[in-house]
Amino acid sequence: MSAKYRITITGLKPGGDENAARANLARLLKAPAEKIDRLLASVPVVIKKNVERELGEKYMQALLQAGVLVEIKPEGLELSLEPTEEKKSEESPQFACPQCGVAVQEEGKCAACLESTPSVQQDAAADKMARRSERNEQLKRSAIGLLISWIKGNIWKAAIVFILIPFFGGNLLLSSVFYTRDQHLVYQTLPVRTICVEDPGATYAMRTTAEQQLLKFFFDDFTYQERKQLLNQWNNVICRAVYEMELGNIGDETITANLEFATPHFVTGSKNPRFIVYQYFRDLSSSTPREQDPLVKQENGRVRLENIYPNTLVSLKFGGWVEGQDAAQDWPGTLAGINVDEGVVEVGNPLATAFGRLLTLFF
C-alpha cells in the first residue's frame, strides 16, 4: 500500500503581496475575506488528508502559486503513543470550519457555529483548485492561450478580423489594420508567368491575340540574324517571362520609393536592349481619390517612383525573353531591393490593407 499524505496550510509567503495572497486563497476556496482572515489566524490548518504523493504535490503547487505556504507530510508519523493535551494542542494540525473559519482540533462540531466540519467540502475545493491551476498554466504556455487572452481584451477587433479573414485570407496585413504609419508603403509580387509560342514562322493570322503580341515583341527586339540564331538554340520555341507587382500608399503622407531589379536571366536583342517597366496608377479606394499620379524615372534596372500620394495603387509590369518554360527566375532573385526615402515598407495586399486602414477609425 502506498503512503498517504496530508496537506497543511501554514501561513502566507513572507515578503509577498499579502492582500493578493488572501484574495487568491478566498477565490480558490470560494470564501469571503473575513473567513479567510479567521482561517489564517488559526494556522496550521489541514485542508486534505490521506492523499497520494503526486496529488498532494499538485495541491501544494496550486497553493504556493496563490502565495500560501503549504506543508505536505506523511500520515501517522506521531511517535508518542500517549501524547499530553498540551502536546496535542501544539503539534496537532487544526481543521478549519467552512462556515465560520474558526479552527477546531478534530473533525466534528465547531463550537462557534455548531456546524459540522465537513472535510469533504475542503477536499473538493482543493481538488478543483489544483486542476484549475494546472489547466491555467498549460493554457498560458500555449499559442491558443495567447490568442484567447488577446481576444478577451480586444473583442471588437477580433470580431472584425474574423469577418475579414474569409474575404482576404492570408493577404490581410493585421499589423496595418491595427497600426498604420504616416508614410506606409505596402507591396506584393504576383506569380511569375511564362508565355511561350511554338514555331514562330507559322501563319500569323492563325495565332491568338496574346501569341500575336508576343511575336510582335520578338520581331521588334531582335534582328533577323539574332532571331534565326535564337530559334535554332531554343528548338523553335520562344518564351517570355512576365513579372507584375503592386504597391500601395496606405499612409497619410506622400512617399518616394526606389526599386531595383536584377534580370541577368533575360536575353536581350540589339534592336531594343533597354529594360522597360510599364506602370499603371489607380485609387486604392474610390471614397478617397488620389491627388495625382507619381513621377516615374527608369535607368538600368532601377525605378524611382516620386510623390506616391496617399490612397495611390501602383501596378508595375515588365517582361523579358528566357530560354524555355522553366527558365524564368522567381521574384526573390528578381527584386533586388525596395526602399522608401522616409517611412516603412511592408509586404501585403495593398487593397486588403487599405480596407484595413479604414478600420483604424473604430479602434
pLDDT at 159: 66
Residue carrying the nine cell digits 465537513: 118
Select the more confidently predicted residue: 152 or 37: 37
Rama region for 81: left / alpha / beta (φ>0; ψ in -120 to 50; rest): alpha
Q: Is residue 51 part of a domain?
A: yes
Q: Of residues 146 and 294, which shows the higher confidence score?
A: 294
Longest Cα–Cα distance in the chain: 119
Please report whether residue 161 resides in a domain. no
State how far the Cα of 176 lies from the Cα of 357, in Å rounded to an integer. 7
Residues 199, 279, single domain; the answer is yes
Of 79-83, 204-208, 256-260, give the range with the top mean pLDDT: 256-260
What confidence score (pLDDT) does residue 260 get?
93
Do 229 and 307 reside in the same domain of the chain?
A: yes
- Does residue 244 register a pLDDT over 50? yes
Domain boundary residue among 117, 141, 165?
A: 141
> Which of residues 84 and 224 earns the better pLDDT score?
224
259/354 same-domain check? yes
Reported as a pLDDT band with limits 50, 70 and 90, residue 361 is very low
The whole-number pLDDT of residue 317 equals: 93
**Residue 37, domain CATH:** 3.30.1390.10
Residue where a domain stops, chosen among 141, 170, 195: 141
Q: How many domains does the chain have?
A: 2
My answer on whether 341 and 271 are in the same domain is yes
Average pLDDT of the chain is 75
Domain that holds residue 295: 184-362
Q: Are residues 219 and 309 in the same domain?
A: yes
pLDDT tens for each residue of 179-198: 456 788 889 999 999 989 98
Give the residue, 9 or 150, on which the prediction is more confident.
9
Q: Is residue 165 situated within a structural domain?
A: no
Q: What single DSSP character describes residue 289? A: -
135 shares a domain with 67: yes
Answer whether residue 314 is part of any domain: yes
Rounded to two decimals, the pTM is 0.50
Single residue among 106, 141, 176 that ends a domain in this structure: 141
Would residue 277 count as lying in a domain? yes
pLDDT at res. 316: 94
Most confident stretch, 7-11, 118-122, 256-260, 264-268: 256-260
- Of 45, 36, 50, which Cα lies nearest the Cα of 4? 50
Express each pLDDT in 86-129 by its tens digit.
Answer: 444 444 445 555 444 444 444 444 444 434 444 445 555 666 66
Q: Is the pLDDT of residue 4 over 80?
A: yes
Question: Does residue 213 share a domain with residue 65?
Answer: no
The least confident of 24-33, 103-112, 233-242 is: 103-112
Residue 353 confidence (pLDDT): 63
Same domain, 227 and 115: no
- Domain shared by 218 and 271, yes or no: yes
Q: For residue 96, is it within any domain? A: yes
Residue 58 lies in a domain: yes
Residue 153 within a domain: no
If asked whether residues 268 and 130 sit together in one domain, one would say no
229 and 334 both lie in a single domain? yes
Q: How far apart are alpha carbons 169 and 348 in whole angstroms?
A: 11
Q: Are residues 194 and 111 in the same domain?
A: no
pLDDT band at 354 (very low <50, low <70, confident <90, very high): low
Q: In what order do the strands lie in the sheet with 45-51?
A: 68-74, 5-12, 45-51, 94-96, 103-104
pLDDT, residue 151, reads 65
Mean pLDDT of 219-239: 92
